[in-house]
């Protein structure tokens, strides 16, 4: 099988680029005979050297380059196209409307397409609803990363074709070596609370910093590690203003020795090492509608005791006692939850065990096999289906009669806890 991945690509410092690199490696591991190619999406003004797998380049925000890539891929010997969709990579907003450039790509691509949706909002703006519907109608298969996203597609977006649920992958991690890795990091004998990933205001890191005085009052040597560089797009617009505000808060609260920043882009091995050294992992994110989180998937795979705000992905994967949910923007609740873990070794072990049992099923080797199987099913279907039937127009899906009621219910479910 020859697969063309369409997404941002490493070395671009972008979550989708990292995800796609991990996914393509997992697919290749599942079947070493697979040939991997890529159409890399470059941000405006970028000039970047890629590896030999990148055969085509797309200039973000220039719709003609999406069309050119689709035409070139269609003329190639590629068997199937795998699109990793995030709105910012495939379009531009103008005065409240969205100019969808993936539509341009799909209109010109004659190869079968599997599209993974990284964002499925529970209360979409009209432009987002229209975009997701179009993608669903013009992809041979849509993949989402959780059952909540699949339900939203049916009940809010009116998508009648079933989506395949394949969770966000993460490395196969053996949850051992906490004390050894703490020694390597120079933080032995200290309880470690951590958050990792690109730093930006949507992460809500200030609420964990505000929780630290109460945590330190109960556990005096606790250290909070904020691991990751500032988001490149934020840095272009505002420099290090947000990070500097976090540092200032730590100083103001007397937490200079209890809050440390690892301001660098980490390799996967480094991410895993910091996770394995961690005692409590916190995702204090502010968006209740966030449908997926790679950092949360990694923490589950590493078997961590997790404290999180109740965004959609966290509510789904942390149910059944796999983690602790706290209200949005509530530093006191964060402190109470973290203290409850650090002060109760038995509870900590139970949370870690449940997280690991769930997370190990999402390791990249298993995800690679499932993604490969989904693409093979599409190709087998194409072979078995007459061309006339494949080319027949599909009816435009309409919302189910209960879509409005379900939208209101889901909005209520995503509302921050008072």
Distance CA 101, CA 91 (A): 5
pLDDT above 70: percentage of residues in the chain: 92
Separation of first and last alpha carbons in the chain: 51
Q: Are 212 and 258 in contact (CB under 8 A)?
A: yes
Q: Note the pTM of the prediction, 2 decimals.
A: 0.76
Asked whether the predicted pLDDT for residue 389 surpasses 80, the reply is no
Distance CA 227, CA 198 (A): 8
pLDDT for res 236: 85
Q: Which of 327, 319, 309, 310 is nearest to 351 (CA)?
A: 319
Of the ranges 254-258, 355-359, 395-399, the best mean pLDDT one? 254-258
Asked whether the predicted pLDDT for residue 242 surpasses 70, the reply is yes
Q: Phi-psi region for residue 95, left (φ > 0), alpha (ψ -120 to 50) or beta?
A: left
**Beta partners for 38?**
5, 54
3-state secondary structure (DSSP) of residue 294:
helix
pLDDT for res 412: 36
Q: Are 80 and 108 in contact (CB under 8 A)?
A: no
Of residues 232 and 225, more confidence is placed in: 225
pLDDT for res 96: 78
pLDDT in tens, 166-209: 999 888 888 888 889 899 888 888 999 999 988 999 999 999 99
pLDDT for res 170: 84
Q: How confident is the model at residue 395 (pLDDT cuts 50, 70, 90)?
A: very low
For 203-228, give one letter per residue: b (16+ CB within 10 A) or e. Answer: bbbbbbbbbbebbbeebeebbbbbbb
Q: How confident is the model at residue 386 (pLDDT cuts 50, 70, 90)?
A: low
Q: Are 168 and 292 in contact (CB under 8 A)?
A: yes
In residues, how long is the chain?
418
51: how many CB neighbours lie within 10 A of its CB?
A: 11
Q: Are 283 and 325 in contact (CB under 8 A)?
A: no
pLDDT for res 151: 95
User: What is the strand order of the sheet 141-144 is part of?
Assistant: 54-59, 35-42, 2-7, 80-85, 113-117, 141-144, 164-165
Q: What is the mean pLDDT of residues 245-274?
A: 92
Query: Which ranges in 57-200 belong to alpha helices (H)?
Result: 63-75, 101-108, 126-138, 147-155, 178-185
Q: How confident is the model at residue 338 (pLDDT cuts 50, 70, 90)?
A: very high
Tokens of 118: 């990284």
pLDDT in tens, 42-99: 998 888 999 999 999 999 999 999 999 999 999 999 999 999 999 999 999 988 789 9
Q: What is the DSSP letter of 122?
A: S
Q: Are 137 and 385 in contact (CB under 8 A)?
A: no
Q: Are 109 and 81 in contact (CB under 8 A)?
A: yes
pLDDT for res 385: 59
Q: What is the mean pLDDT of residues 376-404?
A: 59
Angle at 373 between CA 24 and CA 355, to 5 degrees: 70
Which of 150-154, 327-331, 393-397 comes out lowest in average pLDDT? 393-397
Q: Which of 172, 275, 276 is nearest to 228 (CA)?
A: 275
Angle at 139 between CA 138 and CA 142, to 5 degrees: 135
Q: Which H or E run includes 282?
A: strand 280-283
Q: How confident is the model at residue 397 (pLDDT cuts 50, 70, 90)?
A: very low
All domains of the chain, ordered by start, with CATH? 2-169+364-413 (3.40.50.2000), 178-360 (3.40.50.2000)
User: Across 303-414, where does the E strand assignment appear?
Assistant: 305-308, 324-325
Asked whether the predicted pLDDT for residue 31 surpasses 70, the reply is yes
pLDDT for res 399: 44
Q: What is the mean pLDDT of residues 364-371?
A: 94
pLDDT for res 94: 85
What secondary structure does DSSP assign to 201-212, as a single string?
A: GGG-HHHHHHHH
Q: What is the mean pLDDT of residues 119-127?
A: 92
């Amino acid at each position: 099988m020859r697969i063309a991945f369409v997404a941002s690509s490493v070395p671009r410092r972008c979550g989708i680029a990292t995800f796609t690199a991990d996914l393509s490696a997992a697919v290749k591991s599942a079947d070493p005979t697979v040939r991997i190619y890529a159409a890399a999406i470059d941000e405006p003004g970028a000039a970047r050297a890629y590896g030999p797998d990148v055969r085509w380049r797309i200039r973000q925000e220039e719709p003609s380059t999406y069309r050119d890539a689709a035409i070139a891929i269609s003329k190639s010997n590629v068997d199937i196209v795998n699109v990793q969709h995030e709105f910012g990579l495939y379009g531009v907003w103008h005065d409240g409307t969205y100019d969808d450039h993936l539509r341009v790509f799909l209109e010109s691509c004659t190869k079968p397409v599997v599209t993974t949706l990284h964002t499925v909002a529970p209360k979409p703006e009209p432009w987002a609803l229209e975009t997701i519907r179009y993608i669903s109608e013009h992809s041979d298969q849509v993949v989402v990363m959780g059952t909540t996203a699949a339900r939203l597609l049916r009940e809010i977006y009116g998508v009648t074709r079933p989506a395949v649920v394949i969770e966000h992958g993460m490395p196969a991690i053996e949850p051992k070596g906490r004390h050894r890795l703490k020694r390597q990091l120079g933080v032995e004998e200290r309880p470690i609370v951590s958050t990792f990933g690109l730093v930006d205001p949507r992460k809500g890191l200030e609420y964990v910093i505000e929780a630290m005085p109460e945590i330190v009052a109960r556990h005096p040597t606790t250290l909070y590690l904020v691991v990751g560089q500032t988001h490149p797009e934020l840095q272009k617009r505002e420099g290090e203003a947000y990070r500097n505000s976090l540092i200032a808060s730590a100083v103001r609260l007397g937490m200079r020795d209890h809050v440390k920043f690892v301001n660098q882009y980490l390799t996967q091995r480094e991410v895993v090492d910091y996770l394995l050294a961690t005692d409590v992992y916190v995702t204090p994110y502010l968006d209740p509608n966030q449908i997926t989180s790679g950092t949360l998937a990694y923490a589950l795979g590493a078997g961590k005791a997790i404290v999180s705000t109740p965004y959609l992905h966290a509510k789904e994967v942390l149910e059944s006692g796999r983690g602790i949910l706290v209200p949005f923007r509530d530093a006191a609740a964060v402190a109470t939850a973290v203290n409850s873990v650090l002060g109760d070794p038995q509870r900590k072990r139970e949370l870690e065990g449940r997280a690991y049992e769930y997370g190990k099923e999402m390791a990249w080797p298993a995800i690679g096999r499932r993604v490969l199987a989904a693409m093979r099913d599409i190709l087998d279907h194409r072979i078995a289906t007459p061309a006339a039937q494949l080319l027949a127009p599909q009816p435009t899906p309409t919302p189910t009669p209960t879509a409005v009621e379900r939208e209101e219910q889901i909005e209520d479910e995503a509302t921050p806890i008072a």
